[in-house]
Every structure is written in structure tokens, then in C-alpha cells.
Amino acid sequence: MNKPIDHAEASSEFIAASDHIEFHDRRLWDLRTKRDRATAAIPEWEELRTLASQIKEHTLTHLADYLEQFERQAQANGATVHWARDAAEHNQIVHDIMAARGAKSLVKSKSMLTDECEMRPFLEQRGIEVIETDLGERIQQLDDEPPSHIVVPAVHKLRTDVAEVFARTLGTDPNNSDVHYLAESQRRTTRPSFLSADAGMTGANFAIAETGAVVVCTNEGNADLSVHLPRLYIASIGIEKIIPRTEHLGVFVRMLSRSALGSPITQMTSHFRVPRPGTEMHIVLVDNGRADRLAMADFWYSLKCIRCGACMNTCPVYRRSGGLSYGATYSGPIGAIIDPTYNLRKYSTLPFASTLNGSCTNVCPVRINIHDQLYKWRQVIAERNALPFVKKQAMKMGGKLLASPRLYRIAVEAAGAGVEYLPRIMMYSRANAWGKQREVPAAPAMTFRQWWLKNRGKP
């Protein structure tokens, strides 16, 4: 599907559910506030951001070397390394690894990369059962919805929504929306899968070139169970997740959870390096558009992202439209600058789903200039003819009008034009949108220019 995402329409539906939007906005603002407190407690926070940014910049500009170093180390550790050019290759590799070993079931922790690759339906169509073991991701799997947030996948749902999903899919009491009851029900139904699954999978928060270690940060321990119980472990890793050395991890681990949730560190920071005796460890390094992005002069900076979600939590637009309104794996500000690299036309509206307020850029722990990139994407989208026709025409007309003092004056001074005509010109058309939920400014008796000529103009 190539049709542009109608973010405005989707957000309108989200806003109509008043309990949901209020909770969503409050919950994520709470995370932003906790993040502020956590970062304020570290005097060198702004220096850390600079350091983290520099490490990522260095790595990305030497990426091939570090990837090969990682591969050598991982192989020396006893892991098998696979390279996937795109999503299709990634899915095929995972399937082949499992099929060759007769593996029929997969327990996995949360991985945006596997969502990006649409791996779950691919494996399920081939008879492999896939069980998400992260609570939020599991809720979304059971409800047949993609995650709406990269860190808290079901944040758009109220606990009563979860009770409904679990009642429908796990047979729990539909009237009991107690959080502990729901979490415990999910645990009880998911735990046996860890013991019976043929294979386990994780993504990676970081992959260390120097040691070949895969580092996974979680709060639920589900990644560790997914890795340590089955006899086959597969890690899917985007190539931008590489960092050079273990010592660099200290910088990122200090920042990741503080930025994401306002907590000093995730409950678990697990380093998976060497397969246990009698088991196998496979690592799939995935490009899927990343190398192309790395070659984009204005946009390669987005590859520094450590997926903390701080930009989403702070984004006033995201909080009031919900992640699903972006119609993409990655939503919010970071999604809006990554998604167009996958499909410019389909995601052409997303860089406009922003007021360019700049809050995202300033909470980003790796100093991605997110709102500058949004601005630049807008230029690219217009240049490549991916703007709606009406909007393009409005801008052309606006440009002509504002380039001509005479035409401009006719527009702003025409008798009675104020209320009817002006908002259209100055609010850039889209009939009636301004006045739907807002009053239109009243036209004054005269423009400032007219006032000036009357009061200050020399004869």
C-alpha cells in the first residue's frame, strides 16, 4: 500500500476517545517528568549526551570495520553470524535456522527490528508458533495490533482494554481489570512456553564489537528466559546497534533507562556472548535500508538512535494522537524521520505531524537533531512531488501573493475580506479547518500599515 497515511484522521479518532487520550497524555508526560528528575540528578548529563553522540558518530562512520570485528569475535565465541540485506532475507534466515533443526515454536522478547521485518506473520504462515513474552508486546500480539510505542507497546490501552483482550484470548475474568491479576494471568499462560519452546529470540540494545557480546536491557527478565531455556538462541540485530568497546556501554546504560522511563537502569542488563554447552547461538545482522540511510547527508544522524522513546514521551503531538496513528513500525518524532526512508510516499505526511517545537531534539540522549530533520524531510517530500496537490497549489499561490506588496495589500485590505478571505490566505486554506474547534480572529478596523499611513505617514 502506497497511499499516504492520514495521520490527522487517525488522530481525530484517537482524540474522540476522551478517557484514552487523557490517560495516554498523562502517562507519557509522567515518564517525561520522571526523565527530567532522573537526568537532573546527573550533573554531567549534557556532557554525557555529547559523548554518546560522538561514540555513535564515530561508530557509524567506521561501521564496516566494527561490524566485521563483531563478526570475528562472535564467531570466536562460538556463535554463528548471518548477514541479512533486507527484511525478506532476515525472515528467511530465521526460518531456515529453525526449519533445519525442526524447531516449531519460538519465544521472543521485544524487538522493534522483528516488527519492522514483519517476521511474526512470516513464521506463522510457515507453521511456527511465535510467542511474545514482553507483557506489553504480548498484549498487542493477542489483540492483533502492532506496538504503539517502542518501549511501552500497549501504552494506548487502559487496563479495562487489557482485561477485555485477556478475557477474549486467555479466558480471564472480563470484569477484573486489576493490574496484578492481569499481569499474573499473562505470566501463568506464558511461562510454560519458555519450557516447551524449541527456540528463543531477542533483539539487541547494543552489540559490542570488541567482545562479540549481545546486550539486552529489559525490566521483566523475559529475554533471559527466552535465551537460557531453549536449546537454540537467535539474536536479530540492526547493524546500527554496534558500539566499539565494553567501556562505551557505561555511557549508554546510564542514559537508556533514565531517558526512557526515568529509572536509573533497567532491571536486567544481560550480556549474551557464548552459547551454553550443547546449545546454539545465531546472530542475524540486518541492514534493511540502514546502509542507504547512512549515505543520506541530512538524515544519517537518525541511525544514532538507541530506541529509548524519550522523543515520543515528550512529543505533544504523539501524546495526543497515539502511536498507531502513524501507521508505521516506528512512530512519534523518531518514526517520522525514519519512516520516509522506507517509503517516501506512504509516510510523506508524518514529517508534517509536528509543530517543529524542538522538545524531541533536546531530550534525545544521543543528540539527534530530530526537528531539524523533520524540517528537511518536508523539503525533500515537496521536491519529490509527494505533497497533496491542494497544499502544493496553496503554497504556490501563497508564495506569489506574499512576494507582491500590491497583491498582499489587496488581500489584507479588501473591504469585508478580513473574516472570510484572510483566514484562508493566512491559514493556508484547507477549508474551515481553523474554525472547526476555534474562533476565527476578528478583523480589525484597519491594518497596521493603514494605521501607520494615517498616523505616521508623511504627506
Partner 1 sequence: MKVALFVPCFIDAFFPDVAVATLELLERFGCEVAYPLDQTCCGQPMANSGCHTDAAGAEALFVRNFAGYDHIVGPSASCIHHVRENLIAIPQTDEVKHVRENAYELVEFLHDVLGVREFPWAEFPHTVGLHNGCAALRALRTASMSELNETPFSKPLTLLSAVKGIRFAMPKRPDECCGFGGTFSVYEEPVSARMGYDKVQDHHGAGAEYIVSADMSCLMHQKGCAERLELPIKFLHIAQVLNGVRE
Site for partner 1 in 46-85 (CB under 8 A): 46
Taking CB under 8 A as the criterion, the residue among 1, 3, 43, 459 binding partner 1 is 43
Residue 27 CB, nearest approach to partner 1 (Å): 14
Asked if 3 touches partner 1 (CB under 8 A), the answer is no
Asked if 291 touches partner 1 (CB under 8 A), the answer is no
d(CA 405, CA 447): 14
Taking CB under 8 A as the criterion, the residue among 23, 45, 83, 181 binding partner 1 is 45
CB 268 within 8 A of CB 218: yes
- Cβ distance to partner 1 smaller for residue 267 or 404: 404
* DSSP code at position 227: H
CB contact set of 171 (below 8 Å; sequence gap of 6+): none
- The DSSP H or E segment spanning 290 is helix 290-294
Asked if 391 touches partner 1 (CB under 8 A), the answer is yes
Asked if 398 touches partner 1 (CB under 8 A), the answer is yes
Asked if 426 touches partner 1 (CB under 8 A), the answer is yes
Asked if 414 touches partner 1 (CB under 8 A), the answer is no
- Cβ distance to partner 1 smaller for residue 180 or 438: 438
Taking CB under 8 A as the criterion, the residue among 179, 392, 410, 420 binding partner 1 is 392
Q: Cα angle at 92 between 78 and 94, to 5 degrees?
A: 35
| Touching partner 1, residues 349-388 (CB under 8 A) | 351-359, 361-363, 375, 377-383, 387
Give the binding-site size for partner 1 (rule: CB under 8 A): 82
Taking CB under 8 A as the criterion, the residue among 68, 168, 178, 452 binding partner 1 is 452
- The DSSP H or E segment spanning 132 is strand 129-132
Which span sits near partner 1 by CB under 8 A: 138-146, 160-168, 281-289, 397-405?
397-405
- Cβ distance to partner 1 smaller for residue 7 or 293: 7
Asked if 429 touches partner 1 (CB under 8 A), the answer is yes
Asked if 444 touches partner 1 (CB under 8 A), the answer is yes
Residue 379 CB, nearest approach to partner 1 (Å): 5
CB-neighbour burial class of residue 123 (10 A; exposed 0-12, middle 13-18, buried 19+): buried
CB contact set of 74 (below 8 Å; sequence gap of 6+): 81, 212, 283
Asked if 428 touches partner 1 (CB under 8 A), the answer is yes
Residue 51 CB, nearest approach to partner 1 (Å): 14
> Buried b vs exposed e over 278-308: b needs ≥16 C-beta within 10 Å?
eebbbbbbbbbbbeebbeeeebbbbbbbbbb
Which span sits near partner 1 by CB under 8 A: 123-131, 184-192, 265-273, 430-438?
430-438
Which span sits near partner 1 by CB under 8 A: 37-45, 85-93, 236-244, 269-277?
37-45
Radius of gyration of the chain (CA): 25
d(CA 433, CA 128): 48
Taking CB under 8 A as the criterion, the residue among 21, 81, 251, 281 binding partner 1 is 21
| Touching partner 1, residues 307-336 (CB under 8 A) | 314, 316-317, 320-321
d(CA 220, CA 270): 12
- Cβ distance to partner 1 smaller for residue 302 or 349: 349
Taking CB under 8 A as the criterion, the residue among 127, 277, 405, 416 binding partner 1 is 405
CB 225 within 8 A of CB 194: yes
Q: What are phi and psi of 279, to 5 degrees?
A: -125, 170
d(CA 51, CA 420): 53
CB 287 within 8 A of CB 93: no
Asked if 410 touches partner 1 (CB under 8 A), the answer is no
Taking CB under 8 A as the criterion, the residue among 278, 438, 458, 459 binding partner 1 is 438
* DSSP code at position 129: E
| Touching partner 1, residues 214-273 (CB under 8 A) | none
Asked if 451 touches partner 1 (CB under 8 A), the answer is yes
Asked if 408 touches partner 1 (CB under 8 A), the answer is yes
Output the CA–CA distances (angstroms, integers) from residue 108 to 137, 180, 212, 278, in the order listed: 10, 22, 21, 20
Asked if 437 touches partner 1 (CB under 8 A), the answer is yes
- The DSSP H or E segment spanning 206 is strand 206-208
> Buried b vs exposed e over 407-416: b needs ≥16 C-beta within 10 Å?
eeeebbeeee
